[in-house]
């Protein structure tokens, strides 16, 4: 199945300008089978998201984008701590050892090779330097591409994946209309819950997909 692992709605993510209904319309228009909602450091109440998914007639799976000591980390599955207390990467890894929690590193080279970094005069890192980051080898999958990352970031990430191969996913990181599903992940199983998704990601049987062409008006 094809799933978008990373998307934001307004007003739960104040950087987003779109709604759950619009994200679902875009993902559906691109032929996806499911969409994850990953707001910053906050989760939708499970029953509210399930109700919305039913009303829209489309599988929507809960996740969260956590702000950690190594930057953003996407988490799928149960988390033990209240989110307002914050998470360090090592705490997430410890929880993932004991439960069905999957961790994905989004925009993995943003601080090294993102638009702002390059504008600030940074030289893009060698792939070996990216592969040497703690988070590169410790999370379950790397986000290889999204609508919020540049072609340079995609190239640096791809080079690091060649040096130090890891399971890789695609995800839209949609913050606006028409973006959801532009990048997606192919799973070799069908999932309908965060725990099942976490198991699928942890299995490593994931593949990034860029959906082409964008559907007009989606």
Within 10 Å of residue 45's Cβ, how many Cβ atoms? Answer: 9
Q: Which of 173, 183, 184, 206 binds Zn ion (CB under 5 A)?
A: 173
The two three-digit tokens of residue 217, written as one number: 């008006």
* Structure-token match 């739960």, residue found: 12
Distances (CA, A) of 47 to 43, 180, 197: 11, 22, 18
Cα distance between the two ends of the chain: 20
Q: Does 72 bind Zn ion (CB under 5 A)?
A: yes
Provide, rounded to whole angstroms, the least separation between the CB of residue 106 and Zn ion.
5
Binders of Zn ion among 40-69, rule CB under 5 A? 65
When asked if residue 4 is in the footprint of Zn ion (CB under 5 A), the reply is no
What is the nearest approach in angstroms of Zn ion to the Cβ of residue 6? 5
Closest to Zn ion by CB, 72 vs 140, is: 72
Which of 147, 78, 77 is CA-nearest to residue 106?
Answer: 147
CB of 65 to Zn ion, least distance (A): 5
**Per rule CB under 5 A, is residue 179 in the interface with Zn ion?**
no
53/149 with CB nearer Zn ion:
149
Residues 90-129 touching Zn ion, rule: CB under 5 A, are 106
**25 vs 105 by CB, closer to Zn ion:** 105
188: number of Cβ within 10 Å: 10
Spell out where 41-190 has E strands: 60-68, 71-76, 102-105, 141-145, 168-170, 183-187
30 versus 72: smaller Cβ distance to Zn ion: 72
Q: Among all residues, whose Cβ is closest to Zn ion?
A: 72
Phi-psi region of 57 (alpha: psi -120 to 50; beta: other; left: phi over 0): left
Q: Which is nearer to Zn ion, 4 or 173 (CB)?
A: 173
Residues in the site for Zn ion, rule: CB under 5 A? 65, 72, 106, 173
């Amino acid at each position: 199945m094809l799933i978008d692992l990373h998307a934001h709605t307004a007003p739960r993510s104040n950087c987003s300008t779109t709604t759950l209904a619009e994200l679902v319309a875009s993902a559906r228009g691109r032929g996806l089978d499911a969409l994850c909602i990953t707001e910053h450091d906050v989760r939708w109440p499970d029953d509210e998201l399930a109700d919305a998914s039913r009303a829209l007639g489309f599988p929507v799976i809960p996740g969260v984008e956590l702000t950690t000591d190594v930057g953003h980390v996407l988490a799928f599955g149960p988390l033990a701590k209240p989110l307002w207390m914050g998470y360090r990467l090592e705490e997430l890894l410890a929880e993932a050892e004991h439960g069905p929690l999957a961790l994905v590193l989004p925009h993995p080279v943003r601080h090294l090779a993102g638009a702002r970094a390059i504008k600030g005069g940074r030289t893009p890192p060698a792939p070996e330097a990216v592969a040497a980051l703690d988070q590169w080898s410790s999370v379950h999958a790397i986000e290889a591409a999204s609508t919020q990352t540049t072609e340079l970031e995609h190239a640096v990430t791809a080079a690091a994946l060649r040096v130090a191969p890891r399971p890789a996913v695609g995800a839209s990181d949609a913050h606006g209309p028409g973006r959801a599903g532009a990048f997606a992940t192919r799973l070799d199983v069908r999932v309908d819950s965060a725990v099942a998704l976490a198991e699928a990601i942890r299995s490593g049987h994931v593949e990034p997909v860029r959906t082409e062409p964008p559907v007009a008006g989606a």
